[in-house]
Amino acid sequence: MTAAFDLTGAHRAPFRWRLLAPRHWPSWVAVALLRGSLYLPLAMRARIARVLGRLYYRGNAKRRRIAAINIALCFPDWSAERQARAVREHFRLAALALFHMAVLWWGDERMIDCCLRVTGLEHYETARAAGRRVIVLHCHCVGLEASLALSRYFPYVGFVKPMKDPVLDFVMTRGRERFGGRVFAREAGIRALVRAVKAGYGASYVPDEDLGPKESVYAPFFGVQAATLPTLGRLARMTDAVVIPCFTRLLARGGCELWLEPPIAGFPTGSGAGDAAAMNATIEQAVLKMPEQYLWTMKRFKTRDDGVSPYD
């Protein structure tokens, strides 16, 4: 059972007539093209994604370099050719994820059922049957948008970074809430997450970003000391919640898989460093199942204990 939930801090992106001003027409054209992709065969979407991914790869040297550095740090045993291939594949998959996003935002139930495979829901159901509250742990990957489809199966709250483009923000917010879930801006802070968990919602937590040294501890991620938020353990203690990992990956034959795992055992550990290490280890095991799909284009290791960023 879920209790009445205080929606203070929920992200609002209502339609306003000024969104139809000429300066917003390019955004509406992009939205129309993305929605129109629903009517393309999967093979055609895959071919278009290859082209778009190649353009993204060639046209964004900054992100290409970041991805190459991250993959080299995390997979030093891979050959240079294998690392380079992984970077190219990452950009292709990032483009392909756009088409899956369109299915989630606009596809009918039949289309979603065909394109989204969900496993492990029993872990959530078992925890709730035992009277436990739930925090859902995600990681940044190209298919992360699919995690918001969890609101098809249980009360769920997601946390997002609002888009600067008001048209895209409006469209994305509607798509993310179409199954009854609620979306909160990250600026709403942990209070919104705590309220959601205590009200009986599964609340998403996506902590694998380098947000600087002030709030972070150092914990290994693929053998590299990474600035990591230790907040997950504190949230679990504050809410008396179990932490259920949930990850998404694009499938080779089309579609997307969303899988939930058993609650992290022995969590929280009793220390911030232990919580951060356990969380990173959980995410690391998921990434090993889809190494090209992790969001390698973000500066995951920019804060180092020696003060030297690998991206400089």
**Tokens describing residue 185:** 């801006």
Mean of the per-residue pLDDT values for the chain?
92
- The mean pLDDT of 55-71, rounded to a whole number, is 97
- The mean pLDDT of 285-309, rounded to a whole number, is 93
The β-bridge partners of 39 are none
Question: What pTM, to 2 d.p., does this model score?
Answer: 0.92
- The mean pLDDT of 95-106, rounded to a whole number, is 94
pLDDT of residue 60: 95
| Structure confidence at residue 224 as a pLDDT band (50, 70, 90) | very high
| Angstrom distance (rounded) from CA 175 to CA 105 | 4
| Structure confidence at residue 215 as a pLDDT band (50, 70, 90) | confident
With pLDDT > 70 as the criterion, what percentage of the chain qualifies?
Answer: 97
pLDDT of residue 287: 97
From first CA to last CA, the distance across the chain in angstroms is: 50
* Highest mean predicted confidence (pLDDT) among 23-27, 39-43, 213-217: 23-27
pLDDT of residue 5: 62
Domain residue extents for the chain: 20-293
| pLDDT single digits (tens) 171-213 | 999 998 998 888 888 877 788 889 889 999 999 999 999 988 8
